[in-house]
Structure 1
Amino acid sequence: MPDRVPAVGPSVLRADCAHCFALCCVALPFTASADFGITKAAGEPCTHLQTDFRCGIHDRLRERGFPGCTAYDCFGAGQKVSQVTFGGRDWRTSQQTATQMFAVFPVVRQLHELLWYLTDALARPAAAALAAPTQQALDETERLSRLPPQDLERLDVAAHRATVNTVLLAVSELVRADVGRPAAQHRGADLMGARLRGADLRGADLRGAYLIGADLRGADLRLADLIGADLRGAELSGADLTGSLFVTQFQLAAARGDGRTRVDPPLTRPAHWLPAGT
């Protein structure tokens, strides 16, 4: 990988495992659960990690009890930390490098997540009036993601997220206003297992909502704000998410859908989703 990653865009904000030193398989902790087949501490390599940084069960993760791995998305932070922040030095070089790299990775991952949202916001014609502050927030977030390791370790990510969130909230309000009527307000709501089949949720505020196991089959989620919504196990078969705000591949991979589920590029239907009519 070149020492400079390309300009911010969907391709940069997707994991490129071939240019990462398997940071998500080492830096992050796992707890044995429905998502992970083992428990491991942060900084401890997964037992399935091979010496070439590849996963030994990559093609069988779901069958082996690791669906959480198939859903996880670093938003491209892994390759940036590996190839840019640390210039191609992997965590096996020294204990100091490993400790610092594992501390920096979650920070850059958060910044790249914000870059994903800001890139989405900039692409919204309805929010053209906010293009300048949105671009400014994106540029600053990208700058922060390129700080040296010692500065990234000290970075107050929560404070920066709060600043960016002000912009994202304003964009959301403008975009969702296109629905032309008051929309449902479910910010942070507990909707676990909710029966929302066929529901009209156009322009709904579902920020941070708990939609775990919710039945959203055939629901209309166009222009809904789904930032931070927990869609683990949610049923999205036949749902329409075109135009939905701030949806991530991570959210889709954690849910269940089918060939009738509508999503906008660069998002794609996860491989484990059922084909249409199943």
Structure 2
Amino acid sequence: MTSNGCCSRQIDCALCSKTSQGALIYNQYPKGQHLPAEKCTQNCIIFMLKGELLVNSEEYPGTVLCGRRCILQAIGSKVELLALTDVEYITYWFTELPLLCEERYKEILEAARAPLTYPPLDIIPKLERLLEDLAGYFKEQPDTCDKYLDIKCQEIIYILTCYYPIQPIGIFFYPISTYTESFHYFVMQNYDKVKNVEEFAHLGGYTTTTFRRLFKNMYGVPVYEWILDKKREGILNDLQYTKQRISVISTRYGFDSLSHFAHFCKDSFGDTPRALRKRAANGENIVVTCKEHNKEQECE
């Protein structure tokens, strides 16, 4: 066997029933590639390998992410990306961290404090070698192995939690520290999948009364008001920044007819969906114009 053969995988992973689910993704984009603002449905770590990537989010507004640095975006955050040069980076999507040392992570969360600004985290040599090896793996293999990537995810988090000083890594993980409660996770992962409070409570296995109480204690507002606000936010974002058909948007947010959807938009934003999209195309910044709703039926 040649030396090159010793460095090549000797099996066909495409035949395996357990292939990659995309927790780790290798990204390569040319200069000028724009990824519009999109809400994270999971937590995400961006490991920059080469080039410069402009990041725009609440935690990292107008931040230029250079090679050998990384950032973390929590579930529910909205992130926009622009490649300032040709770029290569790896994204790691997760709901819960694969912790090999839970005690260390507990120490990190206990010491975590919200900073005035979130600086990108430098990638130490040990982590850089692992990421470079992963990049090579993705480039060489058309089919990836989920089991192998699971191990690499554990390795990445082990290095982050156990090889970094507690202060910088505490700042790094702070955005997800408020999402560690299972109820909070449940809400952020499912609020856009339900049409009303009863359905939301049933999905989580709660009685409606218990669900309302837990929600009010955590968020400080009634659940139906919160759902309405999130619905308005999502609709406005889709109308202004996507080219999706209005009928598709209407269905996504649970409206049973276009007329009902149009009435909701006019009540919330002062105009019909088509008019709102036209105003946005002309550069107008559209905001919510309605008064607070007092009827829970509005979110049904």
TM value normalised by structure 1: 0.29
Q: Which has the higher contact order (CA 8 A, sep 6+)?
A: 2
Which structure carries more strand by proportion? 2
TM value normalised by structure 2: 0.27
Rg bigger for which structure?
2
Which structure carries more helix by proportion? 2
